Structure formats: C-alpha cells, structure tokens
Amino acid sequence: MKFSLARTLAIVAVAPVLALAVTAQSAPIQSVPAQSVPAPPAPQNPKPGSQVIFSRSTDANGQTTTEAGPAAPQPRILVATKPSVQDADRRAVTFTALNLDVHLHPADHQIAVRALLTVRNDGKTPLARIPLQISSALNWDQIRVEGRDVSFPVATLNSDADHTGQLHEAAVPLATPLAPGASLHLDVAYSGVILASAKRLLALGTPRNLAFGSDWDQITVPFTGLRGFGNVVWYPVSSVPAILGDGARLFDEIGSQKLRLQGARFTLHLAVEFPHGEPPTVALVNGQSVSLEVKDGPGPDPTLEGIATAQSTTTVGFQVPSLFVAIRTAHAGTHCTAWTQPADEVAVQDWVTEAAAVSPFLESWLGQHSRSNLTLLDLPDPDDTPYESGSLLVVSLQDQPAAQLDGIFVHALTHAWLQPSPAWLDEGVAYFMSTLWVEQHQGRNKALEMLEADRTALALAEPVSPGESAGQPLASAILPIYYRTKAAYVFWMLRDLASDANLSAALQALAKAPPSPAGPSLEDLLRKAGVTRDLSWFFADWVHADKGLPDLSIVSVFPSAAQAGAYLVAVNMANTGYAAAEVPLTVRTATTSLTQRVLIPARGTLVRRLLVLGKPTQVQLNDGTVPESEASVHVTHLKDAPPSSNSSSSQSADPEP
C-alpha cells in the first residue's frame, strides 16, 4: 500500500476522510451547522476489469481529496456542532481487545490503520452511542458495527491528551443500546499525517525548544515514535477531555486510561514502507522488541521502496500502547541492548559499562536472571525528554557522568526483572531499588532524604480520613505519587517487618511469577519466603485500602531512676491517623542508645517503658522510614540534658517532668 503525497491511495471498502470543523467540549472553537457530507463522483477505473470503490490522494499542500466509486454507497460522516456524548458515557467504555493493522509510510509521515475493537459497557446504564477518539492529526474513514457500516457525527474536543491539543471524537450510534456489562465489536479505519507538534505546550507559553523537546512524537524515516495517550493518540480511546493547567486532571485521566486498559488483548500487524536502502532495524510495541522481516527493493533503483513487517500480541499492562520504529545500531550489554544513532556510537560504551556495574547489585536482590532485556533506544535530539515504558527506555545516549548513569540503570533495569507486573510492584520496586543503591553508596540518611523529598506531595494527595475519600489503594492507584512513592515506602517498611533476606526472596519469586494484571500476592510470597509473623494488618492498611498516612506524636516522657545508674523511661505515644504504623522508638543517653519497634494502632495510643543505662537525654519516634501526614521524625529532648549530636530532629517537644 502506498501513502506518498504524490500518489493515490486505493483502499477497499473505506469511507471518505473529511475535514472536521466542530466545537470543543470545554472551549468552543467554531460553530457550524450540522450537515451530512455527500460522496463525490466516482473516478474512472484504473484498468480494465477492476473497480475502484474508494481512493484518496493528497496534494503538495497536504489537502486530502476522497473519491468513492459506485461499488457501494458510503455512509455519511456528519460534521457536528458540539459533542453528542457525555463524560459518563466516555468513562463507561472499556476496551478489552484491540487488533490493529498499521501501515506506515515514514517518508511522508503517514499512517493508515484498520482496527478491530472489542468494547464493554462498564457503566450503570445502557449506551446508545459509543464514543471513539483519535488524535486531531488523524481522520476517521469508516466505522462498522457488528459488520454493518454506520453513519456517525464527528466532533473536535479540546484535550491535551494529544500533542495537538485536540481529539477527533466519533459518536457511533447503536441500533440497540449496549447494556451494562455487555460487549460489542467495532471495525474502524482512520489515517493521517503525524508530525512533531507542540501546540498544547506552546499555548501555555513554553519556550519553543523545550516544547518540542518534550513533544517529539512523529513519523519519519530514521525515527518513528508514538507514545500513545498523553502524547499522541494513535489508537482509539474513550476519554474525558482534560487540559494542561487544570490541576492534575490530565494526569488523573492518563492514569485512569492505563488502569482501564490493563489486561486488554493487544495485537498489532505492522507494515512499514521505507526508501530503498534505508530499512528500519528495530521496532518496539508496548515497550517490547518485535522481530522485523525486511524486504528491500531489488537493484540500485532509488525509486523502488522496501517493506518491513512485524507482528505482536501482548496483554496490556499498566501502560499506554506505544509504537517505535527506527534506524539504529545494536550494542549488547549486561541485561540490556542499546540501539544508537551514529553520533552516539562512542558514548554508548559508557552506558554499557555502567549497566554491567550495577547488575550485581540488582542480581543480589532480584535474582540472577532478568525476565527480559532492557532496551535503550537513542532519541534523535540530545535535548529530547526521556520516556520509559516497561523494559524500554527511550533516551539520548549522550555522554553522562557515571554516577548519573548508575541511577538511571538501577531504576530502568529493575523493570527488566519485574515486567509485566502491577504498577505498584513494578514502579514501586524500581524506586525502592534506587533508594537502596543510594543507601549503599552514599549512606542511609541520603536514601531517606530521597523519600522525604516526595513525602509532602504524598501527604497532600492522601485523604485526611477514609470517610472523606476512598483514596487510591496501591493495586488500583493511577498516580505516581501512590504507585511509586508510597509503594517505595511500603518496601522500606517491609525491610523491618520481614528482613532484607525474606524481602529479597519474595521479590525474586515475584520476578519469576507468571505475568498477571493483578500480580501474585506479595503477602503470600513473603510467607513462603519464611516470614512467620502476621502482616495482615499491614497489608490491610497500606496496600489493599488507602487509609491515608499515620500522624504520630510523643505525648509525654517520664524518666525515673532505677538501680545501678539505670533509668526506666515511660514513653506515651499517639496516632491520630487512620493507618497503623510500626516504627522504631529510640531512647538515647550521653553514651548509648536503645531502640525497640512499637506498633501504634490507628486512632490509638500506646505506652512503652524502656530500661537504659545512664540518664536519658533524648527520645525519638520514627526514623523517616514510615511516611506521616506531618513530620516523619519526632524528637523530645529531656530536661537538664543537651540535645544529642546525632539527632536529625524534625519535631521537638518541651522537656517532660
């Protein structure tokens, strides 16, 4: 199939592409009367005995003309004055299977897709219309419902889920409303040109170089990158329009889309037409490498094009579907493969070296063998923003300091062990490993500072009480502050509750477990690893439900002299939060200290008595490993005693009698 701007595209049984002038849901662009667009006169048959039923051509100015033949009357595509579906309808649609036939002609930046979709109504009421959205750089060609062509209106929505800042939404009418819980099969076709666009960021006043460095999605011969919802919507979605600058709505919607698509069956048949002598060497679908079958044009004729094909069938994890096709050179490394452009052939050796340097650390925690290799894909421009999806890291492979590369690889390589896993396990463990690496090389305080840097944002996101909001339980969390930051805290707490050895054994079992959207039970894996204590309270408060963060305090301290210079110190503690917490309680003297772990119940109090040798000078509750809604380290300095020099106090109390 040819997509050149100078050639005619002939497609069997596909409806016309229309220019869409409509209004946006949140900010009207233009009001035009609703109208149907009739099919133009049929063209002449190109050769005897054949019949053109649909043709499309694009002139040098990028204007598309469509001609329909007499083989079959084409359904009408209506230009809508406003969207005809509500947000509740958009939220109700869940895609359970996507089967995409994708044709790329990178020389002309063009894509044409036929998609077989299975959608389910997860709402509470029947759906009379199915909303389907694609990037405003693409146009709907045809939609069939259960094998029958349908006419449908198309509206343009203002939504920064796409780099153009807009989506084309088709409202597909149903002869019989789709009942709650019922599924439906759709056969759709769409096409268009995808160039780099930074409209949404430029509209916010972002400097041009930064805007295009962030929104680099495009189709070109040396590099095609389509990152999916949140960057460029190259596959059908059903989403609630959201605009950058409107709080966290866009990021909430991106996370919601990931969660709703998790577990869907995703099949892609890829065909790439490339200029003679310039075949792609690497293709990745949803972060996974796929094998390319390349057939170049014979002989030296530069006008002959080649074609590269690939197929992929996967179950979507907590991610947005992505597609990358590029001309790059492979460099094998430890647990990784780096694909570079010529300018980075020298620098990539440092990357490969550092991958080998951090691998023993990860092997000691996660096992000798990763589930897959990490793929590093070199971005076209060194100023382009990196992108991560599972065991794929798209990044400029330029010279970087070794310490910075170590941090990149600890996080990125962890995904190679754990993919595919639920987000809170995959991303949470990756962040946890990063903090452990810092602890090993820079000390425990530096590692805890990493966690503390994000704790305030977590505290702001958490509900004040479970009654005010359901929050985001880790298994269904849609924001990184939960499935990355809070999850990393969970693993730090499990180090103390279960021991490093048992936690490592559980993570190694997780890395070997069969892929599953829900993932295996970490609590069961810890039990099998040798943990005998009951941790059901911990998983109930910190994983299975979101009860917010604890809010601990030292209410009072009562030291009393005992025999032989010893002191009995009674510490009265409280937790006004709704999550129980086990934290270290430390009593210090001028020469020594004693630490015990205490479990403070939710909305409760606890008194603990510690016997120390020498006069107590300081009491500390929590050490920063358990996140709290306020400070995560509480220190009380006792009367007539100077503050301990090794204390990192974030809260002080008056001396107690």
**pLDDT number for residue 520:** 81
Confidence of residue 381 (pLDDT cuts 50, 70, 90): very high
Confidence of residue 43 (pLDDT cuts 50, 70, 90): very low
Mean pLDDT of 569-597: 96
DSSP 483: I
| pLDDT surpasses 50 at 149 | yes
Confidence of residue 510 (pLDDT cuts 50, 70, 90): very high
Instruction: Report yes or no: 385 and 216 within 8 Å, Cβ to Cβ.
Output: yes
Closest by alpha carbon to 234, among 274, 278, 197?
197
Instruction: Report yes or no: 507 and 429 within 8 Å, Cβ to Cβ.
Output: yes
**pLDDT number for residue 421:** 78
DSSP 228: B
Q: How many helices (H) and strands (E) does the chain have?
A: 13, 33
The enclosing H or E element of 538 equals: helix 536-542
| pLDDT surpasses 50 at 55 | no
Enumerate residues 6+ apart whose C-beta is below 8 A from 401. Answer: none
Instruction: Report yes or no: 39 and 100 within 8 Å, Cβ to Cβ.
Output: no
The span from the CA of 331 to the CA of 355, in Å, is: 12
Structure token pair of residue 471: 């929050």
64-78, 141-155, 363-377, 472-486: least confidently modelled range: 64-78
| pLDDT surpasses 60 at 647 | no
Confidence of residue 354 (pLDDT cuts 50, 70, 90): very high
3-state secondary structure of 258: helix
| pLDDT surpasses 90 at 39 | no
The span from the CA of 624 to the CA of 496, in Å, is: 13
Percent of the chain with pLDDT over 70: 86
Confidence of residue 82 (pLDDT cuts 50, 70, 90): confident
Closest by alpha carbon to 489, among 534, 527, 451?
451
The span from the CA of 431 to the CA of 451, in Å, is: 9
Closest by alpha carbon to 23, among 158, 171, 214, 126?
158
The span from the CA of 7 to the CA of 253, in Å, is: 39
The DSSP-derived string for 173-207 is EEEEEEPTT-EEEEEEEEEEE-----HHHHTTT--
DSSP 82: S
Burial of 504 (0-12, 13-18, 19+ CB in 10 A): middle
**pLDDT number for residue 74:** 63
The span from the CA of 492 to the CA of 454, in Å, is: 14
Mean pLDDT of 342-352: 94
Mean pLDDT of 293-300: 85
Mean pLDDT of 126-155: 96
* Residues paired with residue 381 on neighbouring β-strands, in sequence order: none
Three-state DSSP string of 102-140? EEEEHHHCEEEEEEEEEEEECCCCCEEEEEEEEECCEEE
Confidence of residue 146 (pLDDT cuts 50, 70, 90): confident
76-90, 196-210, 358-372, 391-405: least confidently modelled range: 76-90
Q: Which residue has the higher pLDDT, 514 or 204?
A: 204
The DSSP-derived string for 234-248 is -S-B------TTSTT
Per-range mean pLDDT, top range of 6-15, 55-64, 467-476:
467-476
Structure token pair of residue 657: 């009698």
The span from the CA of 146 to the CA of 307, in Å, is: 32
Most distant pair of Cα atoms in the chain: their distance: 112
DSSP 170: E
Burial of 203 (0-12, 13-18, 19+ CB in 10 A): middle
β-strands 265-275, 93-105: how paired? parallel
**pLDDT number for residue 464:** 80
pLDDT in tens, 234-279: 999 999 999 998 988 999 999 999 999 999 999 999 999 999 999 9
The span from the CA of 361 to the CA of 370, in Å, is: 13
- CB-facing half-sphere around the CA of 439: CA atoms within 13 A: 13
Where b means 16+ CB within 10 Å and e means fewer, 229-259 reads bbbbbbbbbbbbbbbbeeeeebbebbbbbbb
State residue 475 phi and psi, 5-degree precision: -65, -25
**pLDDT number for residue 468:** 77
